Structure 1
Amino acid sequence: MSELLLQDKTAVIYGGGGAIGGAVARVFAREGARVFIAGRTRARLDAVARDIDAAGGVVETATVDVLDQAAVEEHAGAVAGRAGGIDIALNAVSVMHDQGTPLAELSLEEFMRPIDGFLRALFITSKAVARHMGHRRPGVILTLSEPGAKLAVGGILGHAASAAGKEAFARVLAAELAPRNIRVVGIRPHAVADAPAAGSYTAELFRPGAAAAGQSVPDFLEGGLAQGTLLKRLPTLAETAETAAFLASDRAGAMTGAIVNLSGGALVD
């Protein structure tokens, strides 16, 4: 029997009841991690936990608002106290935002919503877990961004700025935390093909664009966004989760400060 990738690791996943967060939590647990999933919606967290329990994994849930810094720090401290530290953390929290509105019609609030929401959550969660990582117990902080970080197309000003900010945050944080034996690795998936069907907020996000094209959201993803990639297909939840598990494992121990392009080639660095 092959060794599990994350045997005896402690992982915290914020947004663990969401499509990506839940998929990653299931794979982390399958690979031997003790998984702590946190989020705002108890029912969604419990659904993920039931799947992990049924598969024989170890999981605990907590209702936490990632924009509440005190609550996040209290939760991270409690996890570290029970597990002796934190080995892996992923912020998979979603923030509904605008895509498709040009500057002339975009309000300041709409522009700032993803920048403030995504980056505030990333700062709060990273700061909370980092103090419980590193030195003799290597730590890994995983982040998520989007191809908008690099694309030059109209109508995605706030989205693009937030995605670029998340990638810059990961690079700089990697430099700061490397002396403490903490790695920071970003993952840049495109729209995830099966995420809308799994309850992702992207079903709502892409609905206006799909409607304008006279398509369903699945057809919009397959016939539109997927065709802009080199592979002519979008990543799946399973591919995103399996990649996250590898990057969090000791097998990727020499990697930090990198952004892993999991977009099917929507953008090649």
Structure 2
Amino acid sequence: MDHNTQPPTPTPTPTPASASPGSTAQGLLAGKVAFLTGAGRGIGAAAARLFAREGARVLLAARTEAQLKAVTEEVRASGGTADYVVCDLADAASVRAAVDRTVDLYGRLDVAFNNGAIGQHPGPMDLTEEAEFDALYGVNLKGVWQALVAEVSAIRATAGTGAIVNVSSVGSWRGNPVLPAYGAMKRAVNSLTESAAVTYGPEGIRVNAVAPGGTLTDMLHAWDAETPGVIDQVSAHTPLRRAADPAEIAEAAAWLLSDRASYVTGEVLAVDGGLRAA
């Protein structure tokens, strides 16, 4: 063949990867309504952007309205469907109202991503203040429980079946002397995830968790500021020799929430660059 003569190029079939930002017909979460906590920054904000690109209509929830508004406007500017609600995970009424707002706006709830959490000041157990322990419990464990209850109720009443992903931590699987209360709450989230999966699996509601390793969020940067060198240390102990971008954690959550993970429930998926195996 004459190299200067090219055969006609067929029109490519659009795929999620090649589609324009506003094209969501073939996305991983196409047609689904998603509720996300902790969606104003970090992993939650990355998930909001990704879920919308993958075809979901998203409702973002967090405590800081300015951050929620910025992410919502970004999603809309890229052609996605998004709105937000200010929500305090430590307040049961606030959590219920946020989930109800999702149904009011979009008519249903299919999937939920329970990402919202607070960090603790690094230090040994005997130096962790009771007030800080209680705050961690109220948001990182009780808040997840409250969200799960509200989400299951909304899925059951509207979509009928669906999926939920909680955010745990690689620090939940072993002793965590530097972040003892944080690690304890995340280990409890693993148990809550498994219990919910067993309880609601017969109804067609799947519940899983992702357990990130070192991820470049505000929480990790704050820890690094208090204990300089932490990011470098975590990266050095991670087989991939780097911290994760929040978007990489969001990708794992999107798959678990999608129909492609239809036979996966009760799992706590490490997304940690191999840190748990090291």
How many angstroms does 1:265 deviate by? 1.3
Within 5 Å, give how 1:27-38 maps onto structure 2: 27-38=50-61
The aligned amino acid for 2:60 is I
Name the Cα RMSD after superposition.
1.9
Structure 1 residues 46 and 82: CA distance shift in structure 2, 3 A: closer
Give the one of 6, 14, 30 matched to 1:7.
30
Indicate the SS of the match to 2:35: strand
Structure 1 residue 241 corresponds to structure 2 residue 250: yes
Aligned equivalents of 1:257 and 1:189: distance in 2?
16
The two structures have a TM-score, normalised by structure 2, of 0.85
On the 8 A contact 1:37/1:62 being kept in 2, the answer is yes
On the 8 A contact 1:89/1:142 being kept in 2, the answer is yes
How many angstroms does 1:76 deviate by? 1.6
Aligned equivalents of 2:241 and 2:65: distance in 1?
36
Structure 1 residues 230 and 180: CA distance shift in structure 2, 3 A: same
Aligned equivalents of 1:37 and 1:105: distance in 2?
35
- Of 234-243 and 48-57, more deviation after overlay is shown by 234-243
Structure 1 residue 202 corresponds to structure 2 residue 211: no
Match of 2:75 in 1: 52
Within 5 Å, give how 1:202-241 maps onto structure 2: 202-210=220-228, 215=229, 220-221=230-231, 223-241=232-250
Aligned equivalents of 1:43 and 1:111: distance in 2?
27
Give the one of 205, 209, 231 matched to 1:182.
205
Structure 1 residue runs of 5 or longer lacking an equivalent are none
On the 8 A contact 1:35/1:58 being kept in 2, the answer is yes
Indicate the SS of the match to 1:133: helix
Match of 2:261 in 1: 252
Based on CA coordinates, which of the two structures has the bigger radius of gyration?
Answer: 2
On the 8 A contact 1:36/1:61 being kept in 2, the answer is yes
How many angstroms does 1:98 deviate by? 2.5
Indicate the SS of the match to 1:43: helix
How many angstroms does 1:112 deviate by? 4.1
How many angstroms does 1:161 deviate by? 0.7
On the 8 A contact 2:34/2:58 being kept in 1, the answer is yes
Within 5 Å, give how 1:65-214 maps onto structure 2: 65-99=88-122, 101-134=123-156, 137-193=160-216, 195=217, 200-210=218-228
On the 8 A contact 1:39/1:62 being kept in 2, the answer is yes
Match of 2:65 in 1: 42
The aligned amino acid for 2:220 is T
Aligned equivalents of 2:152 and 2:162: distance in 1?
8
Structure 1 residue 265 corresponds to structure 2 residue 274: yes
On the 8 A contact 1:115/1:161 being kept in 2, the answer is no
Aligned equivalents of 2:98 and 2:128: distance in 1?
37
How many angstroms does 1:153 deviate by? 4.5
Indicate the SS of the match to 2:40: coil
Aligned equivalents of 1:120 and 1:128: distance in 2?
12
Structure 2 residue runs of 5 or longer lacking an equivalent are 1-13, 16-25
Total equivalences in the alignment: 254
The aligned amino acid for 1:205 is W
The two structures have a TM-score, normalised by structure 1, of 0.88
Aligned identity (percent) is 28
The aligned amino acid for 1:207 is A
Indicate the SS of the match to 2:155: coil
- Of 21-30 and 117-126, more deviation after overlay is shown by 117-126
The aligned amino acid for 1:192 is T
How many angstroms does 1:231 deviate by? 2.0
Aligned equivalents of 1:159 and 1:16: distance in 2?
20
Aligned equivalents of 1:191 and 1:144: distance in 2?
13
Indicate the SS of the match to 2:252: helix
How many angstroms does 1:113 deviate by? 3.5
